[in-house]
Structure 1
Amino acid sequence: MWRFRSNRPANDNLTQFLTPAKLRLITDRAVAACDTLDGVADGVIDDPRACTADKFDVASLLCTAGDAADCLTSDQLGAARNIYQGPRNPRTKAQLYPGWPVGSESGWSGYMGSTEPVRADFWRYWVFDDPQWNWWTFDFDRDVSYAYAKIAPLVDQTSADLSAFKSRGGKLMVYHGWSDPVVSAYDSIGYYDRVLAAQGTQAALDEFYRLFLVPGMGHCSGGPGATTLRADGDAAPDPSRDILALMDRWVEQGKPPDDFVASRMAEGSVRRTRPLCAYPKQAAYRGTGDPDDAASYICR
């Protein structure tokens, strides 16, 4: 939905509000401002929530003398703000979906489309049953309500009541990239928090649910951070470094995954390792030791 709202000027089907170059500009400036908030300079914003407006404000990129490669026009600035905010119902002001974190901007362009937003066909064929449906007519009040009534019961899995799953011995382990440009990491955090509220205590939730947030990871994989979560090719992968083996150990041996070592690969070799900590804990640099070695961090 954010793509309908954010990537086109009014009555212009050819010009993209936020070009890939402008989105890369935003990400580069955000990373430059907030990279070292975690005590390490590695080209990654460890926790975008710490990259607050007093440290990086996208408004600081507003052009002062016409459009240029190193600034944003007022329309481009407005579009970026819309995406950070997330879509809202224009009548009730209700949040329809969370906004996207600072640092995810460079990935947005792949989902805006060149002549129309990516996923427009979802609305044409799934929601409206009309191949000729014009996305320009999208209404964030009327059409969202219609889609919720028609499609949500078929595809949405948003219930926070996982008591039946838990009672059967189910284990849920979720990972989400902080720089995911498709599904906001704030959505996974919001769901986790709702399940926590339903369970009542952190201890009750920890019996069966873990969330790992991956700094710098894009949509499911990739990105500039330590985003390799599998030890592919290992006959017996180390559960502390392979997310599937970690899940197997939890299910088969009852050992819960409180942390996990992710890797950054380059040319077939490991160049950096970082611990991923079960939410809400985060990896913190100890202040000494190799910043590219997971042993130099602690979960807290």
Structure 2
Amino acid sequence: MSSFASQRRFALATLSAAILTAASQGASAQLVCNEVTTETLNVIGVRVTSAQPVAATDALPAYCSIDAVTAERVGLDGKDYAVRFQMNLPDDWNGDFVHQFNGGLDGSVSAATGPLLGGNRERTALGLGYAVLSSDAGHSGNANPQAGLAGAAQFGFDPEARSYYGYKTVEVLTPIAKQMIHNFYGNDPHYSYGVGCSNGGRHGMVAASRLGDAYDGFLLGAPGFNLPKAAVQLAMDVQLLDSINGDVRTSLTQEDRLLVASAVLHACDSLDGLEDSLVSDTAACQATFNIDNYVCPVGETENCVDPQKAEVLKGIYAGPKDRKGGSLYSDWSWDAGIAGSNWSFWRVNSGVPFWDNYPLIGIMGASGLAQVFETPPASVGPTGDDLVDYLLDFDVENGGRLINARHGKFHESAMAFMTPPDVDNPKMKKFQRGGGKMIIFHGVSDPIFSYNDTVSWYNRLDENYKGEANHFVKLYPVPGMNHCSGGPATDDFDLFTRLVDWVESGDEPQAVTASIAEGNGERFSDWSPVRTRKLCPYPQVAVYDGSGDPESAESFTCQ
């Protein structure tokens, strides 16, 4: 380790220790929101920019909303950086804390309400009385408007900003949040939780490995813990899709995706004991389904999959490979959720106007891959065309070297600052020994992060704990679901309550009932709008009992 890195880690550890010491000696009476200032809050290294009481609404209780800044500095790129965050402290506090991990490239402070994930948009931690923290992960997403669509990721030219995005923001803010709670209420939080999906899920996975016993529980959806590898997949996907007709946006139409979904259902729908346009037994389906069986014979084009498009999908679902044929990310599970609009929104964007009508992942992913995950960072132009051209020219077979590289002032590779330190051999020893609990859910048809990658991670963890990882980590696959929610799926479920019961009462979660989220109009035509299903902890599968109401979760058992 370089002397610079050693000094930096020592300073961080010293700051954390000072914050925790101050927390134990802080105020003993609750502060008044209107009187909260940098001086009255008295948190080392924190500057309060605003504090205001917010009146209760139908969805949220009355609370004190504090906006603040810490870790202010000038980067090696000459730009100003800081960690900006919001802490919402309810008047009627339940005594606990939720760290809201945000997604994407971060870069802005999302309202600290603590969404509790799944397709239900109304269920929040703040609404339940938790103190909630949200941050921008140490950089501003609109720091350089002249950079256009690439601007959100230009923080990647500063190595320290990369580290803050990857892991350091959570390390810095965790003790700060606990001190703020102590100094505001006069009491420490009883329990601390982390909640997030996508990159937010990655933040949680990293925190569980790096911070150990700082959190009691995590609820994490679609965790992108191998995000740099998934970005390499993205480049390959764009190249393959572009090969169909020279335009990613029209490469796979809705009709194409419905044909593939129908083929998957034809092969796999009955494997769980009921033909219900939902594939519950994902593992059995992968062993059964072969897209080649549904390819159009020569001279036919109706009710079959175009041969060229089938080959492209086979390449996508196999995942990227290096020059020796080694995997650079993961394979993917065939599932009927490919018909979901969210799948298209991220991968193809067929007919959805957004950022020059390019697929969202092609824009966000390209700027991140070029400027944050490639080392040294590559400059890209400001337009959607520039970013897609970068992906079309990207050397996929060499991608593994680029995301593992260190160069000059960039002392950490993308894989080092973005992933849990034990990602390839997961143990999370301090978290497990401290009694921590984690619940992960992942849509089987997630188009951004492979469900199979999460299963592989869980299987390695389970092997390390001799088949007993389920005593502190549960994985819930969601058949048909796309990224974090949506798709032809029962995507409304309350896993947070199960997590809390597990952490605080020792009630180990088993089957969880899920329904179709309000606003999710993507159910297949033969579904009842009030359909419910059981989500089963991996590797169990929801199996129909053979006689009950086929639209009710009560007619299924986890086997």
Same fold (TM over 0.5): yes
Match of 1:238 in 2: none
Matches within 5 A, 1:1-300: 1-5=232-236, 6-9=240-243, 12=246, 16-52=250-286, 55-65=288-298, 68=301, 70-89=303-322, 91-103=323-335, 104-107=337-340, 108-113=343-348, 117-118=362-363, 119-126=365-372, 127=374, 128-132=377-381, 134-149=390-405, 150-157=413-420, 158-159=423-424, 160-199=426-465, 201-203=466-468, 205-229=469-493, 242-265=494-517, 271-300=530-559
The answer on whether the counterparts of 2:244 and 2:251 sit within 8 Å (CA) in structure 1 is no
- Deviation at 1:80? 0.7
CA gap 1:84/1:217 in 2 versus in 1, 3 angstroms: same
1:13–1:115: 8 Å Cα contact kept in structure 2? no
Give the partner amino acid of 2:326.
A
> Distance between the aligned counterparts of 1:105 and 1:226, measured in 2?
15
Distance 1:15 1:245 in 2: 40
Counterpart AA for 2:538: Y
Is the 1:98–1:187 Cα contact (8 Å) retained in structure 2? Answer: yes
Contact 2:295 2:305 in 1 (8 A): yes
Asked whether the 8 Å contact 1:272–1:293 carries over to 2, the reply is: yes
CA separation of 1:8 and 1:247: change in aligned 2, threshold 3 A: same
Which deviates further from its counterpart, 167-176 or 129-138? Answer: 129-138
SS in 1 for 2:532: strand
> What is the Cα deviation at residue 69 of structure 1?
5.9
CA offset at residue 265 of structure 1? 4.8
Contact preservation (8 Å) 1:25, 1:70: yes
Contact 1:3 1:111 in 2 (8 A): no
Deviations 1:10-59 (A, max 9, x none): 89356754333312221122123321221122211112322246x54212
Q: Kindly tell me: are residues 254 and 270 of structure 1, through their superposed partners in 2, closer, same or farther at Cα, counting changes over 3 Å? A: farther
**Aligned twin of 1:237:** none
- How far apart in 1 are the matches of 2:274 and 2:535? 15
Distance 2:490 2:338 in 1: 19
Match of 2:19 in 1: none
**2:339–2:488: 8 Å Cα contact kept in structure 1?**
no
Q: Secondary structure at the match of 2:502?
A: helix
Report the equivalent of 1:233.
Answer: none
Task: Rate the CA distance shift 1:270–1:254 in 2: closer, same or farther, 3 A.
Answer: farther
How many angstroms apart in 1 are the aligned matches of 2:328 and 2:345? Answer: 22
Cα distance in 2 for partners of 1:93, 1:218 equals 28
> In 2, Cα distance between the equivalents of 1:167 and 1:58?
45
Q: TM-score, normalised by structure 1?
A: 0.84
- Residue identity over aligned pairs, in percent, reads 30
SS in 2 for 1:210: strand
1:287 to 1:140, Cα distance in 2 relative to 1, 3 A = same
Structure 1 regions of 5+ residues with no counterpart?
Answer: 230-241
Larger helix proportion of the pair: 2
Q: Distance in 1 between matches of 2:261 and 2:449?
A: 17
Q: Cα RMSD (Å) of the superposition?
A: 2.7
Whether the 8 Å CA contact 2:319–2:331 is kept in 1: the answer is yes
- Output one character per residue of 1:224-258: Cα deviation in whole Å (capped at 9) or x when no partner: 222211xxxxxxxxxxxx31111110011011112
Which whole-Å deviations, capped at 9, do the CAs of 1:200-225 have from their partners, x for residues lacking one? x223x122111111122111112222
**Letter of the aligned partner of 1:130 in structure 2?**
S
User: Which AA in structure 1 matches 2:280?
Assistant: D
**Secondary structure of the equivalent of 2:516?**
strand
What secondary structure sits across from 1:41 in the alignment? coil
Answer whether contact 1:217 1:223 (CA < 8 A) is retained.
yes
For 2:512 and 2:286, how far apart are their aligned partners in 1? 27
